[in-house]
Structure 1
Amino acid sequence: MYRFLLTPRWWGINVFVLLAISFCIFMGAWQLSRFDERVEGQRGAGARAASDKREVARPLAEMLPVDKATVGKQVTATGRYGEQLLVPDRELDERRGFYVLTLLRTDGGSALPVVRGWLPGDADPAKVPAAPSGEVTVTGALQASEQPGENGVPGQGGSPAGQTGAISAASLVNLVPYDVYDAWVTLNRGDAGMKTVPVSGARDSGLDLKAFQNLGYTGEWFVFAGFVVFMWFRLLRREVEFARDAELGLVAQEDDDRVAV
């Protein structure tokens, strides 16, 4: 009854099924490995941030531009504090508050955005301690410019005077009359009693939406492999039924239906 499996037609079907299943399993395993890489990246982020704080701070110019290798690294810069802006709607320890962002005018002429700390409540200039006067040297973790709409960062449009929605050169250049570095620094210790702002990870790293997309694709590929197996068994069952009908002399009656399918 199963001699039809040795026909050229079924040899072709079997080879196609084996190749399709192998391809689906390979793609599913690859997507799963991508998910594992992102999980491992997130697990190592905290350890890297802790080790970065123990590293010797390097001059800002040596660490630019900011990328995955330099984000979170310790840098140092010297200059004088200038304009101060508040960054509202920032959470810390599950409490709503705002960042205190002060621009450090460096010897190079450009300004470095420095997050001096975090304060609870609504953004209010009256709550903010004055920035140190004279020449200062700051040390902190290097951060990449934020993108409005990314990770809950609000857009720039509609921000009140003295505030900014995102910490980025693109946003700040419209608020101050000089060039701004396309990076910012969060101090290792909050200035004047303010809470220290933690270091954020590099963009597109860690366990983000893409990681769960990889996990979803993994499931899809294995579902595809199961569907191929299901269709093979379904086709096999119909072929067996046709062979049984042939033995009973019903080939002429069933042949049209089989061909139509």
Structure 2
Amino acid sequence: MYRFLLAPRWLAVSALALLAVPFCVFMGSWQLSRFDMRVAQHRTAKHDSVKIAAEAPVPLASVLPNVRAQVPGADSGRQISATGSYDAGHQLLVPDRTLDGRNGFYVLTPLRVGGGAALPVVRGWLPGDASAAERSRSIPAAPAGQVTVTGALQNPESTDTSGVSASGALPSGQLGIISAASLVNVLPYPVYGGWITAAHPSAPLKAVPPAAPPNSGLDLKAFQNLGYTGQWFVFAAFVVFMWFRLIRREAEARADAALGLLPEEDDGVPEGPGPGPGGVDAGPDAERTEGSAAHVA
């Protein structure tokens, strides 16, 4: 019944299916391995960030030797100690920042360190509206004199940073994005590329948890890999399904043909009276002509 599978056409179809199925399975397995790799990287980065945060503070100069230095990826979240004096005259508020599900703002005060440069320090978070708090003068003053601040080193923010709102112009004394690129326009001295969030703010300020390092979470690419995995496995199953379906249809068609159940093909003969003598159609006019001839006879 299935001897037709030995025909050249069916041998080619079967060979194509046998090649397509392993290829689809291989591609699906490869995409799954890419997803597993990204998950492992996420877990490793999370473990490293927790480990780094628990280490003893290191001097600012050991991580950021100058204002042009960028925050090393391995040092994001590391505890940094910096000594200098707060510049309360250039204090800034960062509005629309949430903490524990409540809306509020950051209090950012530049810390002037050696060489005249400033390290942006988020001294803490307060609930409510930044503009209203500034008008009511309810923001705690920064400590005077020389201080040593300890906090988690953070990467510069961008418009893609979670929680950042870059919509519209802000009132004077407020800042939308914490980065050297935005601070250089409002501060009269050089600014470090990174910033820190103070570990022990004075009441009523609340400590701002350090953000996760960039590209340390499960991004869209990880879920794309997972989606592609499912697609390739579906393709493999579809190839197997179509192969069996085609074989079944061919077997059923051959069985029907053996039993004489296939519909007869149209022979192309038109309906109506057949051709008369000499191959001429015997239509109504021909009948009248024949009748007249008989009457004359």
User: What TM-score, normalized by structure 2, do the two folds share?
Assistant: 0.74
Deviation at 1:195, TM superposition (A): 0.9
Aligned residue number for residue 113 of structure 2: 106
Aligned residue number for residue 202 of structure 1: 213
Within-5 A mapping of 1:179-198: 179-198=190-209
Give the direction of change, closer, same or farther, for the CA distance of 1:95–1:74 in structure 2 (3 Å limit).
same
Determine the C-alpha separation between the residues in 1 that align with 2:61 and 2:18: 56
Aligned residue number for residue 51 of structure 1: 51
Deviation at 1:113, TM superposition (A): 1.4
Aligned residue number for residue 76 of structure 1: 81
The amino acid across from 1:5 in the alignment is L
Determine the C-alpha separation between the residues in 1 that align with 2:200 and 2:47: 19
Deviation at 1:170, TM superposition (A): 2.0
User: Once the two structures are aligned, what percentage of the paired residues are identical?
Assistant: 60
Aligned residue number for residue 4 of structure 1: 4
The amino acid across from 1:228 in the alignment is V
Give the direction of change, closer, same or farther, for the CA distance of 1:247–1:216 in structure 2 (3 Å limit).
same
Q: Does the CA-based 8 Å contact 1:156-1:166 persist in structure 2?
A: no
The amino acid across from 1:66 in the alignment is V
Aligned residue number for residue 153 of structure 1: 164
Give the direction of change, closer, same or farther, for the CA distance of 1:67–1:242 in structure 2 (3 Å limit).
farther
The amino acid across from 1:35 in the alignment is F
Matched residue SS, 1:69:
helix
User: What TM-score, normalized by structure 1, do the two folds share?
Assistant: 0.83
Larger Rg computed on CA atoms: 2
Could you tell me which runs of 5 or more consecutive residues in structure 2 were left unpaired when the two chains were aligned: 65-69, 266-297
Aligned residue number for residue 291 of structure 2: none
Deviation digits for residues 77-96 of structure 1, max 9, x if unmatched? 22222221111111111111
Within-5 A mapping of 1:63-142: 63-64=63-64, 65-82=70-87, 83-123=90-130, 124-125=133-134, 126-142=137-153
Matched residue SS, 1:191:
coil
Matched residue SS, 2:185:
coil
Q: Does the CA-based 8 Å contact 2:46-2:216 persist in structure 1?
A: no
Determine the C-alpha separation between the residues in 1 that align with 2:169 and 2:257: 78
CA RMSD in angstroms comes to 2.8
